Amino acid sequence: MQTITLPAENPESISSALSLFKDGEIVAFPTDTVYGLGADPFQASGIIKLFEAKGRDSNKAIAILIGSIEQAALVTDHMPDMAIRLCEVFWPGGLTVIVPRKNTLPELISNTDRIGIRMPNHPVALGMLKTFGPLATTSANLSGKPDAVSAKDVYDQLNNRVPLILDGGKCHGGVPSTVIDCSGSEPVILREGPVTIEQIYKVLEMQKA
């Protein structure tokens, strides 16, 4: 497979990416944290290609990026109140919330009844999500290797593994998102990132007040 890199700000580049998603292919693109590798979440073939490109264990769950809180209804049957509150405050941004998974999603995305969703704060990613809809996304790097914060980083690791890289320059965040499980009665922080534990609990305490 030949890997092509195109400028992310070019509308024709975006059109190429959207066409690839529709065909069950994968595309690397910039986000507000690190470069992501995306696919149509409702096409199992695309999910398989995500795992193959990264050399990732297929038992590990894949997160979903969305372009609006309203799009969450496409991938979850229920948004818990605490998840809604956190999303209202920290989206778009570096927070992934774990919520119940809609059963119409391929089991390859998650072998549990939960799914992680996030709205990125990046014009390229948001633009594609608002046009195409949710994307199954993982970091655009080989499993176990450093996260990619530039198109060159992606190319160095995934050349010949991904058909298209959208070059949007360096990602300014450079840190994977904070992950919080909101599927139970109490929130559980699974990974701290750009959004701190203190910020999360401050919002949730305000909700209880």
Domains and CATH numbers, the chain: 4-208 (3.90.870.10)
> Distance between CA 3 and CA 151 in Å, rounded?
11
Average pLDDT, stretch 200-208?
82
Centre a 10 Å sphere on the Cβ of residue 16 and count the other Cβ atoms it contains.
17
**Is 6:30 a contact under the CB 8 Å cutoff?**
no
User: pLDDT tens digits for 83-136?
Assistant: 999 999 999 999 999 999 999 999 889 888 999 999 999 999 999 999 999 999
Q: Which residues pair with 191 in a beta bridge?
A: 179
Strands 95-100, 178-181: pairing is: parallel
What is this structure's pTM? Answer: 0.94
Q: Report in angstroms the alpha-carbon separations of 135 from 87, 99, 180, 181.
A: 18, 16, 19, 20
User: Per-residue confidence at 209, pLDDT binned at 50, 70, 90?
Assistant: very low
Pick from 133, 100, 104, 98: which is nearest to 118 by CA?
A: 98
